[in-house]
């Protein structure tokens, strides 16, 4: 009995020690989860705003949403590093390089200040070990705006010849059309189609400002579908193909689903698509599906192949609810515009929302 009385406290101490060690390992994992979430939020916010203060706030809010019990991992401004992450081949890891100026595509978040003693640590299960087991893991994660293969899938139905401020009903001809105009002639000067070209130019400018080398393709649809431009890093070729359509603008219905299938082929075409690149599709329409396969089924096919689908509706005549559903199925976002200026902003916002990934 004397021996048992002597050994019981020792056994209790050893058990408490083992439990605290297991708790420490669990905390390490939970801190990593919080850091991963914070790095993603920081990367996304910085891509959208370019503001370091907002980026820090987004990281802190993400950490708050991923507490360890009641403990929130503290994140300081010094824990964020801005730089570039690049790789040469598909099987290579991304390499992060910090930069103090210039274009960045990556953010590395580390719990450096927390691990170094800033603020309270995570308490142990048995508090009498607090001096020995005050848990302060050093964890890091890197969020990178990855390499993108992107296809624009745009509506070239007859309604795109009308301006954004008028109802697209033929006849009559678009209000800005010259006397005697008909489909097959050059597109009228105030056409939605020309607003689209201006928006695509703004989109291309955003891609040009990226440190990555994105590829871009163009698919178009009305009652038919085609891909006049395969994936390329020369974005001017996309504008040239859009301008060619302007010269001979024909009428036609709105086969959005067929357009999505065509875009899916274009962005996954093995002859041009890069196996290590994220795949993105941007679908624009100014109307309602009235021909061919329903767009939601095409969006499901895109989702199964890992293609993120963004949608843009242009004009209040467009089927906003249906295209919102397509974006939700495709894992992207939906944007609505009723003016040329809003359309340009929508395309710029999409360029800044292109997928990010954790690369470390």
Asked if pLDDT for residue 11 goes beyond 80, the answer is no
What span, in angstroms and rounded, lies between the C-alpha atoms of 349 and 340?
14
- 331-337 sheet: strands from edge to edge: 225-232, 215-221, 148-155, 278-285, 307-314, 331-337
The encoded tokens of residue 342 equal 């809003």
Q: Are 164 and 192 in contact (CB under 8 A)?
A: yes
What span, in angstroms and rounded, lies between the C-alpha atoms of 282 and 91?
28
110-113 long-range contacts, CB within 8 A, separation 24+: 110/35, 110/79, 110/81, 110/138, 110/139, 110/140, 111/31, 111/35, 111/73, 111/75, 111/79, 111/136, 111/137, 111/138, 111/139, 111/140, 112/78, 112/79, 112/138, 113/74, 113/76, 113/78, 113/79
pLDDT at 188: 95
Asked if pLDDT for residue 302 goes beyond 70, the answer is yes
pLDDT at 343: 92
Give the tens place of pLDDT for each residue, 146-155.
Answer: 778 999 999 9
Q: What average pLDDT does this structure show over 247-272?
A: 94
pTM: 0.71
Find the helix or strand (DSSP H, E) in which 74 lies: none
pLDDT at 108: 92
Give the tens place of pLDDT for each residue, 161-209.
Answer: 999 889 988 989 999 999 999 999 999 999 999 999 999 999 999 888 7
Q: Is 114 helix (H, G, I), strand (E, B) or coil?
A: helix
Q: Which residue intervals of the chain are DSSP H helices?
A: 2-49, 52-64, 112-115, 130-133, 192-208, 236-247, 256-268, 295-304, 320-329, 340-352
Dihedral class, residue 150 (left if φ above 0, else alpha if ψ from -120 to 50, else beta): beta
At 104, the pLDDT band (50, 70, 90 cuts) reads confident
- 356-358 sheet: strands from edge to edge: 95-98, 80-86, 106-110, 140-145, 356-358
pLDDT at 245: 95
Structural domains of the chain sorted by starting position, each given as residue range(s) with its CATH number in brackets: 2-145 (no CATH), 148-358 (3.40.50.410)
Give the tens place of pLDDT for each residue, 22-42.
Answer: 656 777 788 889 989 999 888
Q: What average pLDDT does this structure show over 239-262?
A: 95
Looking at the DSSP bridge assignments, the partners of residue 82 are: 107
């Amino acid at each position: 009995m004397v021996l048992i009385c002597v050994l019981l406290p020792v056994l209790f101490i050893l058990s408490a020690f083992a439990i605290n060690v297991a708790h420490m390992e669990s905390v390490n994992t939970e801190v990593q989860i919080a850091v991963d979430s914070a790095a993603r939020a920081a990367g996304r916010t910085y891509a959208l705003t370019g503001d370091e203060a907002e980026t820090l706030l987004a990281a802190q809010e993400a950490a708050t949403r991923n507490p360890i019990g009641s403990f929130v991992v503290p994140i300081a401004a010094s824990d964020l590093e801005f730089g570039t992450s690049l790789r040469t081949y598909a099987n290579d890891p991304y390499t992060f390089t910090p930069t103090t100026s210039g274009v960045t595509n990556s953010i590395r978040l580390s719990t450096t200040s927390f691990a170094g003693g800033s603020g309270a640590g995570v308490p142990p299960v048995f508090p009498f070990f607090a001096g020995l087991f005050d848990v302060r893991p050093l964890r890091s994660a890197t969020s990178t705006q990855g390499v993108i293969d992107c296809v624009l899938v745009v509506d070239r139905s007859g309604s795109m010849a009308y301006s954004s401020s008028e109802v697209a009903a033929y006849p009559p001809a678009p209000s800005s059309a010259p006397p005697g105009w008909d489909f097959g002639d050059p597109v009228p000067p105030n056409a939605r189609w020309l607003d689209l070209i201006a928006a695509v130019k703004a989109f291309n400018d955003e891609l040009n400002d990226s440190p990555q080398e994105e590829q871009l393709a163009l698919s178009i649809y009305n009652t038919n579908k085609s891909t006049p431009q395969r994936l390329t890093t020369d974005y001017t070729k996309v504008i040239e193909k859009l301008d060619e359509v302007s010269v001979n603008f024909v009428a036609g219905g709105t086969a959005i689903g067929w357009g999505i299938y065509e875009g899916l082929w274009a962005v996954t075409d093995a002859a041009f698509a890069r196996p290590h690149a994220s795949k993105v599709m941007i679908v624009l329409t100014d109307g309602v599906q009235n021909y061919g396969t329903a767009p939601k089924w095409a969006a499901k096919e895109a989702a199964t192949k890992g293609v993120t689908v963004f949608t843009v509706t242009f004009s209040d005549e467009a089927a906003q609810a249906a295209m919102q559903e397509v974006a939700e199925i495709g894992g992207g976002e939906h944007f609505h515009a009723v003016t040329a200026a809003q359309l340009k902003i929508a395309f710029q916002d999409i360029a800044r929302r292109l997928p990010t990934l954790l690369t470390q």
